[in-house]
């Protein structure tokens, strides 16, 4: 059975593949996985500082900066 990380990466990959050139897929998946992982960790450790609105704003900004 695949690990949770492997399943998340596969989910990201399926969504990213139609959006970026093939040579950028792996790096984009890594970027999104690290971003999401760090965001979740920050929200868990400092939940009062990271309401859902702030989390979504960070994700939106990161995706826009990466052209997604």
Question: What is the pLDDT, as a whole number, of residue 1?
Answer: 81
pLDDT band at 68 (very low <50, low <70, confident <90, very high): confident
Nearest-angstrom CA–CA distance, 5 and 11: 10
Stretch (H or E) spanning 43: helix 25-45
The CB density around residue 43, as the number of other CB atoms within 10 Å, is 16
How does pLDDT run across 36-58, given as a tens digit for each residue?
999 999 999 999 999 999 999 99
Nearest-angstrom CA–CA distance, 22 and 66: 15
DSSP state of 2: -
Domain ranges for the chain: 4-65
How does pLDDT run across 2-42, given as a tens digit for each residue?
899 999 999 999 999 999 999 999 999 999 999 999 999 99
Question: What is the pLDDT, as a whole number, of residue 55?
Answer: 94
Contact 66, 31 (CB under 8 A): yes
């Amino acid at each position: 059975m695949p690990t949770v990380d492997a399943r998340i990466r596969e989910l990201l990959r399926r969504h990213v593949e139609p959006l970026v050139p093939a040579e950028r897929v792996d790096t984009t998946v890594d970027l999104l996985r690290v971003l999401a992982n760090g965001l979740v960790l920050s929200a868990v450790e400092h939940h009062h500082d990271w309401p859902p609105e702030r989390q979504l704003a960070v994700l939106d900004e990161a995706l826009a900066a990466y052209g997604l």
